[in-house]
Amino acid sequence: MQEISFGSDNHSAVHPLVMAALSEVNQGFCFGYGDDPYTEEVIALLRDSFGGNCDIWMVMTGTGANVISLQALLHSFNAVLCPHTSHINVDECGAVQKFTQARLLPINTPDGKLSPELIEPALGGRGDQHHSQKKIVSISQSTEYGTAYSLDELSALAEYVHSKGLLLHIDGARLANAAAYLGVSLKAMTSEVGADVVSFGGTKNGMMFGEAIISFVPELTQNILYFRKQASQLYSKARFIAAQYKAYLQDELWRSCALHANRMASLLAQELDQFPQVRVTQKVQANAVFVILPPEWIKALQPRYMFYMWDEVIHEARLMCSFTTREEHISTLIRDIRTLSECRENGIIQNLQ
């Protein structure tokens, strides 16, 4: 156990209301594999949140949600365009390739966000049997850089993607953080802007486990039923995901958790800004702060505050906040940084512990 961690929003515990919901459903017999009343109820709730006209499936992990969503829309000869920084490209050990046998074609972006201008040059080869056929544009909202697409950006992207005969997938592991940042509903950011398939993650923002896949193209995704089981992502005691999501949706718990996490990230960025040796490299919109630090500071801070390096070459670290990050965690970090800042002048850097 770590006293303070800026390592990941999944370093956090489970929200008490979610834990209470788990206990509450823990009685009696219940059908498995999603054929239970809890699942039925929560899917109806989720459907409302996402605009009504959609199909929904529960899965175990975020990687599971991504690969099943993509699998349902892809043939093996297809390709997926995605930002170079996307979780499916960088952090899933090739899961998309494993499940779909299709290709990821990553595109470099300055801020983790795709745009029609960035996609345009990557199209081509359509109808040519020698080339993987582009089929999906996959984005993350919020992005792995802690940035968020505006509603206008999403609409423009979806329109462009559809005009090219492609589909828009949104990895929503941190969808809550984006909705909280934009101050909009879940449906405003998905069905209303023209997304095709979206995941809505809970694990990074207060739940214990469980992710939801939401499809706005039900006619294209009817086989998810089978892909999910074949992908080993069908949960037997499904009521325990359903109960979590119910608590998560109740009074928009997801939003208050995400708002807090975002606020902590803003505060952290603001505090970091006072140090001339520090440079925040991305806009802080969701719950991540990307920051270039002096290498000796990194060495001193990492054991105590547990964070990951994003780019070792330029000494860029990623500091993640979550619904359990507290102001005192930030002030403690800032205090240590101030000490380092002063040490620097003396040329003496030691481990703060």
Q: Which of 14, 45, 184, 188 contacts a second copy by CB under 8 A?
A: 14
Shortest spacing between CB 320 and a second copy, in angstroms: 11
Closer residue to a second copy in complex, CB, 61/341: 61
Closer residue to a second copy in complex, CB, 93/348: 93
Size of the site for a second copy (CB under 8 A): 78
Give the footprint of a second copy on residues 178-217 (CB under 8 A).
Answer: 203-204, 208-209
Q: Is the dihedral of CA 321, 326, 329, 332 positive or negative?
A: positive
Query: Long-range CB contacts (< 8 A, 24+ apart) of 46-50?
Result: 46/200, 46/212, 46/214, 46/245, 46/249, 49/185, 49/186, 49/187, 49/249, 50/186, 50/187, 50/190, 50/191, 50/198, 50/200, 50/214, 50/216
Give the footprint of a second copy on residues 61-90 (CB under 8 A).
Answer: 61-64, 67, 71, 75-79, 90
Tokens representing 100 are 């779909």
Give the footprint of a second copy on residues 285-324 (CB under 8 A).
Answer: 306, 324
Stretch that binds a second copy, among 16-24, 162-170, 178-186, 289-297 (CB under 8 A): 16-24
Stretch that binds a second copy, among 136-144, 156-164, 223-231, 253-261 (CB under 8 A): 223-231
Q: Examine residue 8 and tell whether it contacts a second copy (CB under 8 A).
A: yes
C-alpha–C-alpha distance, residues 291 and 280, integer Å: 4
Q: Which of 157, 168, 180, 234 contacts a second copy by CB under 8 A?
A: 234
Binding mask 99-118 for a second copy (x = CB under 8 A): x-xxxx--------------
Reported residue count of the chain is: 353
Q: Examine residue 30 and tell whether it contacts a second copy (CB under 8 A).
A: yes
How many other CB atoms are there within 10 angstroms of residue 206's CB atom? 29
Closer residue to a second copy in complex, CB, 30/352: 30
> What is the residue type of 353?
Q
C-alpha–C-alpha distance, residues 172 and 143, integer Å: 9
